[in-house]
Amino acid sequence: MLNYLRHDGVSRIAGEVDAVFVFITLIGLFFFLITQGFLIYFALRYRKKKRGEETETPYITGNRWLETAWVVVPSLLILAIFIYGYLVFRDIRTPPAGAAEINVIVRQWLFEFRYPDGRRTINEVRVPVGKPVKFIMTSQDVIHGFYLPAFRVKQDILPGRYTHLWVQPEKTGRFDIYCTQYCGVGHSNMRAVMVVMGGEDYEHWAGLEEEMSTLPLAKRGEELVEHSGCLACHSLDGTVKVGPTLKGLYGRRVELADGTAAIADDTYIRESILEPNARIVKGFPPVMPTFKGTIKDDDITAIIAYIKTLK
């Protein structure tokens, strides 16, 4: 949590947003100290007199200068806060011309990223450092959110509408993305990461994806499991995470929430990925997102082939 307190120069906008907050906080602090200072001073200065020491309260009808000042000064300050805030807001909302466009399609409970060249990734978006990127976002079901705390930017994602958000990362690294609208039981698992890569690394990665199809089936399945967000919820070593482990799953007898049981064969695993809520494993919450439309048919075959190797 604490590392979000400093923006560390990840982008120009992050610095601008922090500066607005510091500006507003300092004004607030200044008036807090003045008002509280006078409160304490007056409480002592005009405290109750001892018996017999009565003084008559002066009758004050007004003070034109004082009243003008306390109307004009706060008005100017609020105007300054508005104008400063508006200028930064305009900057946040206006992507520079020529920003690369990445489509973000979300649903309960995952982020899918689609690149201009047709590549897709799940819960992980890769962008080159130093270049502006515009995310064009829409939801397939309920309202979700897209929050990049390190970059100080946030935007709701709505069904049936497109919203956008842009960033220009100035530092390489991995940055968390959170869904910030309570979107159902799996909400707290709805996280993604933005990987900012150096220009050359990015070019290398962009060329990489194509080679996938020549890999052996199980190896390809392994890559898919690693890059589809499965490992956020499933372990490969037998430990229970949000969901059951994938180790030794193939051929296992699975107790289901409705009291029946199933054998984890090809059909069962396929259904688990495309329609996770059709059969729920006993003792687990129904939080797995569907990968229908995201993972292609032959890729599911590859994932099944990989799960078979996890003895």
Of these, 13, 287, 302, 310, which contacts ligand HEC (CB under 6 A)?
287
d(CA 68, CA 271): 72
| Of the residues 130, 198, 199, 285, which one makes contact with ligand HEC according to CB under 6 A | 285
**Partner from Cu ion, ligand HEC, none binding residue 148, C-beta < 5-8 Å depending on class:** none
For residue 215, the number of C-alpha atoms closer than 13 Å in the C-beta half-sphere is 19
Q: Does 155 bind ligand HEC (CB under 6 A)?
A: no
The binder of Cu ion chosen from 92, 183, 281, 288 (CB under 5 A):
183
* Among 34-42, 71-79, 98-106, 242-250, the segment contacting ligand HEC (CB under 6 A): 242-250
Six-digit token string for 39: 């409160």
> Does residue 111 sit in helix, strand or coil?
strand
With CB under 5 to 8 Å by kind, the binding choice for 178 among ligand HEC, Cu ion, none is: none
Angle between the 217-227 and 297-309 helix axes, to the nearest 10 degrees?
100
- Name the binder of 288 from Cu ion, ligand HEC, none, CB < 5-8 A by kind: ligand HEC
Taking CB under 5 A as the rule, does residue 127 contact Cu ion?
Answer: no
Q: Which stretch binds Cu ion (CB under 5 A): 131-139, 148-156, 189-197, 224-232?
A: 189-197
At position 45, the amino acid (one-letter code) is R
Q: How far is the CB of 265 from ligand HEC (least distance, A)?
A: 11
Whether 96 contacts 129, CB under 8 Å: no
The reply on whether position 127 binds ligand HEC by CB under 6 A is no
| DSSP SS3 for 101 | strand
Q: What is the DSSP letter of 112?
A: E
Does residue 306 interact with ligand HEC by CB under 6 A? no
Which partner from the list Cu ion, ligand HEC, none does 291 bind, CB cut-off 5 to 8 Å by kind? ligand HEC
- Please select the residue that binds ligand HEC; options are 24, 77, 129, 242, rule is CB under 6 A: 242
Sheet holding 110-114, edge to edge: 120-122, 110-114, 100-107, 133-139, 163-167
Closest listed residue to residue 272, CA positions, set 289, 296, 259, 258: 289
User: Would you give the DSSP letter of residue 275?
Assistant: -
- Contact string (CB under 6 A) for ligand HEC, positions 249-268, x = contact: x----x---------x----
177 touches ligand HEC by CB under 6 A: no
C-alpha closest to that of 276 among 260, 287, 266: 287
Closer Cβ to ligand HEC, 163 or 181, answer by number = 181
Question: Does residue number 102 form part of the binding site for ligand HEC (CB under 6 A)?
Answer: no
Please, which residues have CB within 8 angstroms of residue 259's CB and are 6 or more apart in sequence? none
Q: Is residue 124 within 8 Å of residue 227, measured between CB atoms? A: yes
Q: Which is nearer to ligand HEC, 54 or 237 (CB)?
A: 237
Tell whether residue 218 is a contact of ligand HEC (CB under 6 A). no
Q: How many CB atoms lie within 10 A of CB 235?
A: 16
Q: Per CB under 5 A, does 137 bind Cu ion?
A: no
Write out the H or E segment, with its range, that includes residue 153.
strand 153-157
Which chain residues interact with ligand HEC by CB under 6 A?
Answer: 109, 186, 189, 225, 228-230, 232-234, 242-244, 249, 254, 264, 269, 272-273, 276, 280-281, 284-288, 291, 303
